[in-house]
Every structure is written in C-alpha cells, then in structure tokens.
Structure 1
Amino acid sequence: MQEVSIRNYGRGDFANLIALQVQCFPPPFPSELWWNEEQLSEHATRFPEGALCAVIEGRIVGSMTALRRTIRVDEPQDWASVTDEGYIRNHEPNGDTIYVVDLCVAPEYRKLGLGKWLMQSMYETVVHLGCSRLLGGGRMPGYGAVSDKLTPQQYINQVTEGHLRDPVISFMLNCGRLPIGIVAHYLEDEQSEHFGALMEWKNPFLARS
C-alpha cells in the first residue's frame, strides 16, 4: 500500500512534469510534443483546476491536463487545433466542455490505477464547474498492427465490443468514456496511423432537455 495524493500542479513542479513526459512518451512519440515550461505555465495560470498531478512519496508519478472550451462540430478536431498546440491560450472560462489535453502515468506505477483516479478527479471538476461533459481524443496505438484489415471505425467498434484491446482506448472505456467519432490526423503518431478516437463522458448530474 502506498499513499497517493492528487493535487493541482504549479511552477515548482515543471521540471518533474517534463521528466515524467519523457518517461511516458518515448520515441517514436515526437519529442517536440513533450511539455515545455511555457506550456506548463499557461496550464497552471489559465486553468489551474485542469492541471492535476499524482504524487507518491514526494515524486510526481502522473499528471492530467485539461482546458475548458465550447467545441463546435464544424471546427478542426485535431489535437493541435483544439488545444492550441498544448498552450491552451484558447481556453474559454465559460466553455461547456472540459477537454483533456494530456494524461500520463510513469510506467512503473501503471498497475496502481492512478490514471483512473486522475480521470475521476477530472470528472469531479466537470461536475463542480457545471460543464456538460468531458471530451478528448484518444490515441489508438494498437491500430497500426491491424490497419491493413480494419478501418479506424471498425477497430474502435472491435475494441468497444471487447473483441480487441487497445492500451489507451480500452483504458478510457474502463473509466466510463465512450467513443463518439474518429479524427484523422489527430496527432503525429505512427502507432495509431495518425488517427484518434473522440471519447466522451457526460455529466450525469446536469439536467438535459
């Protein structure tokens, strides 16, 4: 048993958060997509409620970042466009959607369920702020191995129905998020053939017409 705390991150955490990114996203993931201090400063100042980290014995072992926006169906849905390339300068204080920019857990701590706890903490943020949903794209790292046999939508259907397992999409499904669409050129990500799945969690406490 290990004691874990989930808290907001700030300037004193930036070096450790960047080191965590390097651990979590090794090549072929593009190194230019790892956080830099300017991005982290924007996260912590523009939307501190969406800047979370998990800490064990003083070490940051996981993090989750989000921004608040109202997402239009006719706008580009790739990661760079929706998140301002991770700088979140397009954050909207009154947006109806909490959009996940990033979620990562140090490899040696991934069996502890920290990713799920971070996700649950962000659900609480959705509810607390009265937003309608949590949304975000998910990498599909298992897709590259079967892309000659399945379309991206067929792959997501297979994962959702439990016939295939994807390290990212299956995790999101286990956290209660559901796929609502496929985004081409979501990220520069060879394992996913550059596709992403839009994954949604609706606020169950919000009255709907």
Structure 2
Amino acid sequence: MRKQMIVYADGKPIEIVIRNYTCSDFPGMIDIQRESFPPPFPSELWWNEAQLREHVARFPEGALCAEIEGRLIGSVTGLKVGEAQLHADHSWASVTDGGYIRNHDPQGDTLYIVDICVIPEMRKAGIGKWLMQSMYETVVHLGLKRLLGGGRMPGYHRVADVVTPEAYLAGVLSGKYNDPVITFLLRCGRMPVGVVPNYLEDEESRNHAALMEWRNPFLA
C-alpha cells in the first residue's frame, strides 16, 4: 500500500504518505514509540527490532506507517487470526504473541489490531483515523470478514467504584461518558462487541478493554 493525502495541522494543509513499513523504517518506528511514550514509561515496552522484523516478514500488509517528508509520525500494526484464537478471555499478549505476531494465521479471516500510535504533535491532524481507514481498506483488499481489536478504557478508573466496565462502555455509547480511546474508535467506525477482563495491565482501565470491530461491508 502507498497513498498520499492532505491533512490539516493547526489549520495548515500538510501532505502525508501512508505506506507499508519495511526494515529500513525500524529506527523511525522506535522513535514514534519514544516520542509517544516518554519516561517514566519503560523503554523495554517500545517496539524492538525483533518484533518489527517479525511484522514485516510474517504480514507486511498489516504493517503500515504514516510519514511527512520522510519522517515517520504514526503507525498501525495488525495480524490475521482465526476464531480459535479469539476465546472469550483472550488477552493482548496471547492474541498478538506479545507483539511478535508469530501466531499470525495466513488463513485467518479477522485482521486483529496489535497497536496504533501517533506522535503527540500530530494527534489533532486525524492521522490515527486515516491509519485505521487504511486498515479497513486492507480488510477489503484481502477479502477478510472483519477488523477486531481491544480498546483501552482510560476513563473507566474515574467511575470504577460505582459502575461495571460494561455499564461504563454503555455510558460511552449513550453519551454519558467521554472516553478518549473508545470515543476515537467509535469515530473511526468501530463498534463494541463486548468487554474483556485482564486484557492488558492498565490501571486506568482496571485491566479491562472494549473489544471493538469493523465488519467488511462487502461480504454478506
């Protein structure tokens, strides 16, 4: 994949390119993580070259980045999985092989999102939404059934003492609560299909995630 488009940052039009990332992009991919998750976030949780090498070798169609004049500013990564890998209590680590995607199933009919990330200075330019849209195009291009992934619920900790995670998600859908991650995914066209406990170690979400999908509209 390679496509050019115009986005607006601080009211100014900027041309970006969305394309598949390759081995030569690994330093830039790690820089995206470094800028997005500065200390005290542990650097060992950033992408490493071994993980990135697996991405481009096993499923290059699911390895996308966004760049401006050669500088990487965002990325999204996915893998194909089958129904057997999506048991009700799956975690991010189990379904993505800890980010290494060595469990990528070439015959799988679901594109599962491993990670989406945009550097802070470009987060109001719509880069994340365009990266997600590009993954939808990948789903259609490959004839897959759907896109799926767990979304953090970082606003949940504010009300966790009084509502269940399921009630919180319903509150986001009704407009009672505004969650930065779930609201973003809804604006991208994703729909919730449930809540997964113990999905990812995340105090703000109380370790829960909303399982969010986008179904291929061209398949019956």
TM-score when normalising by structure 2: 0.90
Structure 1 unaligned runs (5+)? none
8 Å Cα contact 2:65/2:72 also seen in 1:
yes
1:150-201: per-residue Cα shift (whole Å, max 9, x none)?
2111111111112211111000000110111111111111111111110000
Q: How does 1:7-22 map to 2 (within 5 A)?
A: 7-22=19-34
The one of 166, 183, 200 equivalent to 2:196 is 183
Provide the residue aligned with 1:197 in structure 2.
Answer: 210
CA contact (8 A) 1:30 1:188 kept: no
CA distance 1:27–1:162, shift in 2 (3 Å): farther
Task: Name the counterpart of 1:65.
Answer: 77
Matched, 1:142 2:142: no
The answer to whether the Cα contact below 8 Å between 2:82 and 2:108 also exists between their aligned partners in 1 is: yes
- In structure 2, the residue matched to 1:91 is 104
Matched residue pairs, number?
207
Query: Kindly tell me: are residues 21 and 31 of structure 1, through their superposed partners in 2, closer, same or farther at Cα, counting changes over 3 Å?
Result: same
Q: Which moved more, 1:153-162 or 1:78-87?
A: 153-162
Q: What are structure 2's unaligned runs of at least 5 residues?
A: 1-12
Q: Is residue 112 from structure 1 mapped to residue 109 from structure 2 by the alignment?
A: no
How far the C-alpha of 1:27 sits from its partner, in A, is 5.5
The verdict on how the C-alpha distance between 1:142 and 1:126 changes in structure 2, with shifts beyond 3 A counting, is same
For residue 180 of structure 2, give the secondary structure of its aligned residue in structure 1. Answer: coil
User: Quick one: which amino acid aligns to residue 36 of structure 2?
Assistant: C
Taking the aligned partners of 1:32 and 1:117, their CA distance within structure 2 comes to 28
The RMSD of aligned alpha carbons is 1.4
Matched position secondary structure for 2:178:
coil
Superposition deviation, residue 16 in structure 1: 1.3
Cα separation, 1, equivalents of 2:88 and 2:176: 32
Q: For residues 96 and 86 of structure 1, do their structure 2 counterparts lie closer, same or farther at Cα, with a shift above 3 Å needed?
A: same
Equivalent residue, structure 2, for 1:54: 66
**Alignment partner, residue 172 of structure 2:** 159
Residue 29 of structure 1 contacts residue 189 of structure 1 at CA under 8 Å; is this kept in 2? no
Identity of aligned residues (%): 63
Three-state SS of the structure 2 residue aligned to 1:190 is coil
Equivalence for 1:25: 37
Q: Decide which structure has greater strand share.
A: 2
One-letter code aligned to 1:122: M
TM-score w.r.t. length of structure 1: 0.95
Deviation at residue 31 of structure 1 after TM alignment? 3.9
